[in-house]
Amino acid sequence: MHTDLSAHLHTDECNDIIQQFLYCNSHYTFQRFLGKCSYLDTQVTKCQKKERLQRREHNRQQAVKEQAERLKRMSEDNN
């Protein structure tokens, strides 16, 4: 099961893979149960993981920056 596959939530790279995956699922209804679309399913999962790790790293960097600013303001207020 994948997270929301809406286009506005993903990069262009992932959107291309998602479109191929959705096309495969809609056009190969029976064959997908035999593994026809499994490769694309794996690619979607990998792409979403890559996006998630990038978001996590960005959020971590942002939190460090905000905490440094907060500590700076607190030290200025104490003086």
Residue 43 lies in a domain: yes
Q: Is residue 32 part of a domain?
A: yes
User: What is residue 59's three-state secondary structure?
Assistant: helix
The 3-state DSSP class for residue 61 equals helix
Do the beta carbons of residue 41 and residue 67 sit within 8 Å? no
Yes or no: say if 10 and 51 are a contact pair by the CB < 8 Å rule. yes
Domain count, the chain: 1
Confidence (pLDDT) at 29: 84
Domain range for 45 is 8-78
List pLDDT tens digits, range 25-78: 899 888 888 889 999 999 999 999 999 999 999 999 999 999 999 999 998 887
Q: Which residue has the higher pLDDT, 77 or 14?
A: 14
The reported pTM is 0.77
Give 15: exposed, middle or buried? Use CB within 10 Å, 0-12, 13-18, 19+: middle
